[in-house]
Amino acid sequence: MAFPELKNRLLLDTLEGKETERPPVWMMRQAGRYLPEYMEIKKKYGFFERVETPELACEITIQPIDIVGTDAAILFSDILVLIQCLDIEVQLKPGFGPYLPDPIRTVEQVKNLNIIPAEEQLSYVYDALTLTRKTLDGRVPLIGFAGAPWTLFCYLVEGQGSKTFSTAKSFLFSEPEAAQKLLEVMTDQTIQYLHNQVKAGAQVLQVFESWAAALGPDDFRTLALPHLKRIASEDYGVPLIMFCKDAEWSYSHFADTNVTGFGVGWGCTPEHARQYAGDKIVQGNFDPSKLLMSPDKIEAEATEMLKRFGKGNYVANLGHGILPNVPVENAKRFVDTVKNFRY
């Protein structure tokens, strides 16, 4: 499939290890809830209608490029769409968050999973990627993404968000064979999903292990990490960023995989991030709450972060998703600070 030539190569050049005059910058969850233009669309369409309608997903994905000026676009979607490939309903309740009416709680449910190929079930994601890539007309690269197996497992078993994920962890520990089977299924689906995203137009991929820290280091290393490494060992033909939130210590275990770079949360210092990542690219790690400070303070704090990460092999980003109450001018000041910075 032919796409327009890429004009802003800063993110790709950085991920390919090339020397650049400054770091590229984008923000997790940049497409969405802090933008008034997005809120106007939200008034008219439900969440999954926005996600599953390629024209709407495309419009929302491009909004931060027009308004904030980031160096990359990330598709407006959700990590939980992959759960649909198990023929399991996912709802998004206003003021509550993700909700699964029929979560997986028994060995029997795992044995009787109705697995639908990601290529078949998630065609709307691929259509949105292709449409967005063409509509961007090469202005910036397009990032595709997926949730990691353990994080998806948490929602599949818990049935909703949680501070402890005690139900998911109980199933993981008490029914190890069924739990590992479910994790293997999600790993297979994720690999297929990521390959399909690249075919549809994604130029970079990111995998979100958002709930890595719900497990202790030893349990994460033995029960969840092998599935992540299998995903990371695939050759997708584009750069792959791995983000294990609050488990940056695990990055040394990816040395023999095809991971290009690592996302870093604000709980990890730039110095430790460099240590864990080795010679790989590091991405992060501005605390999203700091975008609620004054614009001048944001600029000062962001500049200090850029200096601490040092020259090269670095992508400026937040330590997690942008908050819905961040003023647009503050997000823009963060982005402009990076764009005006020089190594």
| Model confidence pLDDT, tens digit, residues 251-299 | 999 999 999 999 999 999 999 999 999 999 999 999 999 999 999 999 9
195 pLDDT exceeds 90?
yes
Share the mean pLDDT of the chain: 97
Token digits of residue 221 = 């290393």
The residues, ordered by sequence, that sit 6+ positions from 314 with a Cβ below 8 Å of its Cβ are 14, 23, 281, 282, 283
**What is the structure's pLDDT at 93?**
84
Give the pLDDT band (50/70/90) at residue 92. Answer: confident
% of residues, the chain, pLDDT over 90:
97
Give the pLDDT band (50/70/90) at residue 164. Answer: very high
Give the pLDDT band (50/70/90) at residue 96. Answer: confident
d(CA 93, CA 293): 30
**What is the structure's pLDDT at 144?**
98
95 pLDDT exceeds 90?
no
Domain limits, the chain? 10-340
**What is the structure's pLDDT at 270?**
97
Mean pLDDT of all residues in 129-153? 98
**What is the structure's pLDDT at 266?**
97
**What is the structure's pLDDT at 94?**
81
Token digits of residue 175 = 């029914």
181 pLDDT exceeds 90?
yes
Secondary structure, 3-state, the chain: CCCCCCCCCHHHHHHCCCCCCCCCECCCCCCCCCCHHHHHHHHHCCHHHHHHCHHHHHHHHHHHHHHCCCCCEECCCCHHHHHHHHCCCCEEECCCEEECCCCCCCHHHHHCCCCCCHHHHCHHHHHHHHHHHHHHCCCCCEEEEEECHHHHHHHHHHCECCCCCHHHHHHHHHCHHHHHHHHHHHHHHHHHHHHHHHHHCCCEEEEEECCHHHCCHHHHHHHHHHHHHHHHCCCCCCCEEEEECCCHHHHHHHCCCCCCEEEECCCCCHHHHHHHHCCCEEEEEECHHHHHCCHHHHHHHHHHHHHHHCCCCEEEEECCCCCCCCCHHHHHHHHHHHHHCCC
**What is the structure's pLDDT at 200?**
98
316 pLDDT exceeds 90?
yes
69 pLDDT exceeds 90?
yes
How many C-beta neighbours within 10 Å does residue 102 have?
A: 9
Task: Output the pTM of the full model.
Answer: 0.97
CATH class in words for 10-340:
alpha beta
